[in-house]
Amino acid sequence: MYFKESAGVPDGIGVMSKIETIGIVGAGQMGGGIAHVSALGGYKVLIHDTSADRIEKGIATISGNMARQVGSGKLEEKARNEAMARISAAPAMADLAAADLVIEAATEDETVKRKIYAQLCPQLNPEAILATNTSSISITRLAAQTDRPERFIGIHFMNPVPVMKLVELVRGIATEDQTFEAAKTYVKHLDKTITVSEDFPAFIVNRILLPMINEAIYTLYEGVGTVDAIDTAMRLGANHPMGPLQLADFIGLDTCLSIMQVLHEGLSDSKYRPCPLLVKYVEAGWLGRKTGRGFYDYRGDHPVPTR
């Protein structure tokens, strides 16, 4: 059997998947967001990261984000308290042995992910499902680095996880039907909408979105428009809620570059070549909001374009 019987289902959740406990590797923005929605969905959550400080900071961020939801009337205080009680620290990878589903939410770097799987797989229940939140890397290739390719799947949440309704499910060539169905059930309990993508570089959303962002950076690089002109044009001319350069800063320019490199290498098409200006910003350490500077400078009271 893959799954355990469920008990203690909160009111309003319905009959839960037989997955009860979610392990998350990575307490950053994505891992924290996945923990946030999983706990609100009624699942027990175990969070692991490279240090106790990172885990503690991640849990504090989740608590603060839920408090803001309470303040805006989107969440009741009782539900927040119950959800936070379901979240626990897992300082050692061995602490994830109790998880029925473990989601890796580490940085978008295949080498890093492979190292995690090498350390993680021996610690897991042999029947546990292992998932990755990768936004672009081959699920088949990552699965082959584990001891359970049949129980490996891509569960790609959008950022910020508590706000965005979409989750991409991506099967590798070896992913079994039971694994896929269990992942679907889990995502549905989070009140998310599922789209299923084939295992091609960057899947659906980023296959379309990142080349657009890269083209916006080329438009800046070639002097067609300034940062402000490009973002204003796309907000008001295409009715986008956020300009492409502002969005790139929000995603992280290092992540944008990684995805473009995956597209360029995986599809061997020059139209996916990362813009040299994007490379330059990443080399400078100007990665967007998380570092204080990207296409905008966030160190003052209001963001100011850097070009």
State pLDDT tens for residues 176-225.
Answer: 999 999 999 999 999 999 999 999 999 999 999 999 999 999 999 999 99
In the chain, where does the domain assigned CATH 1.10.1040.10 lie?
206-305
| Domain 206-305: CATH architecture, name and number where available | Orthogonal Bundle (1.10)
Question: Which member of 38, 133, 138, 206 is catalytic?
Answer: 206
pLDDT tens sequence across 83-94: 999 999 999 999
The type of residue at 170 is: V
> How many CB atoms neighbour CB 110 within 10 A?
16
Is 5 among the catalytic positions? Answer: no
Is 156 among the catalytic positions? Answer: yes
Q: In the structure, what pLDDT confidence band is assigned to residue 18 with cuts at 50, 70 and 90? A: confident
At a CB cut-off of 8 Å and minimum separation 6, what does 5 contact?
A: 18
Rounded to two decimals, what is the model's pTM? 0.88
Is the per-residue pLDDT at 13 higher than 50? no
Is the per-residue pLDDT at 22 higher than 60? yes
pLDDT tens sequence across 90-116: 999 999 999 999 999 999 999 999 999
Question: Which member of 156, 189, 197, 214 is catalytic?
Answer: 156
Question: Which member of 36, 108, 168, 189 is catalytic?
Answer: 168
At CB < 8 A and 24+ separation, what contacts does 263-267 make? 263/136, 263/201, 263/202, 263/207, 263/210, 263/211, 265/201, 266/138, 266/200, 266/201, 266/202, 267/201
Is the per-residue pLDDT at 7 higher than 50? no
Is 48 among the catalytic positions? Answer: no
In the chain, where does the domain assigned CATH 3.40.50.720 lie?
21-197
Question: Which member of 38, 133, 135, 214 is catalytic?
Answer: 135
236: its two tokens: 């008001």
At a CB cut-off of 8 Å and minimum separation 6, what does 84 contact?
A: 39, 62, 63, 66
Region 7-33 average pLDDT: 72
Using DSSP's 3-state secondary structure scheme, residue 128 falls into coil
Task: Provide the CATH number for the domain formed by 21-197 in this structure.
Answer: 3.40.50.720
